[in-house]
Amino acid sequence: MGAILIKKKEKPKLSLLYVVVIVLIILVSISVVIISISFNKTPRNGEGVPLYLGSRIFGKIVVDELEVSLSQFQDTALPNPCILMFGLTTCPHCHNMYEFFQKHYPDNYRAFWIDTDRTAAELFMMLVDIETKNGVPQHYAMAVPQTVIVVNSKVKAVVIGEVQEAEFWENLLKNN
């Protein structure tokens, strides 16, 4: 009779592909945590001013640096309250907002064209920097038009995008 050979069970070997997949899952998980933490850097305890994407609130941002820089315009007798729009001369949404504000708030509105005015461009880049430090994604922070509501030399709200709803602007000016 022949001998029966019994094979020993070998422990399964981890394939290189299996290890790579696990490492990738770990890296993606870490990246998701880091990204979510960075997007949740909005001010705590209600500090900061509201930031709107269109007419919807995105969160709050701290704008102390911007207020200091806007104080340089005290000499130009900005109205109170004041609506400051940052825009590009080539942007149709900026021109729509320009016309909207000229119609509804001609005495309280100032346009800052960032492609033709160096000071306006510097202020806008400061605003972009403030927004990104507060967790606003850069593609939103760099968008125009951006409108800043200023009351008694204090920034009260920032609005990114075109919003042609008079009631929205009335509420921002009234509630601030």
Please write down the HEC assignment for all residues of 69-115. Answer: HHHHHHHHCCCCCEEEEEECCCCHHHHHHHHHHHHHCCCCEEEEECC
More confident call, 101 vs 45: 101
Mean pLDDT computed over 40-51: 68
More confident call, 163 vs 70: 163
pLDDT at 167 exceeding the cut of 90: yes
Q: What pLDDT is recorded for position 10?
A: 64
pLDDT at 42 exceeding the cut of 50: no
Which amino acid is present at 84?
L
Share of the chain above pLDDT 90, in %: 56
CB atoms within 10 A of CB 4: 5
Question: Residue 44 — very low, low, confident or very high, per pLDDT cuts 50/70/90?
Answer: very low
To the question of domain 49-174 being in CATH 3.40.50.2300, the answer is no
More confident call, 37 vs 27: 27
Terminal Cα-to-Cα distance of the chain (whole angstroms):
99
Q: What is the pTM of this model?
A: 0.71
171's enclosing H/E stretch is: helix 166-174
Domain ranges, ordered by start, for the chain: 14-42, 49-174
Rounded to the nearest integer, the mean pLDDT of the chain is 84
Mean pLDDT computed over 1-18: 66
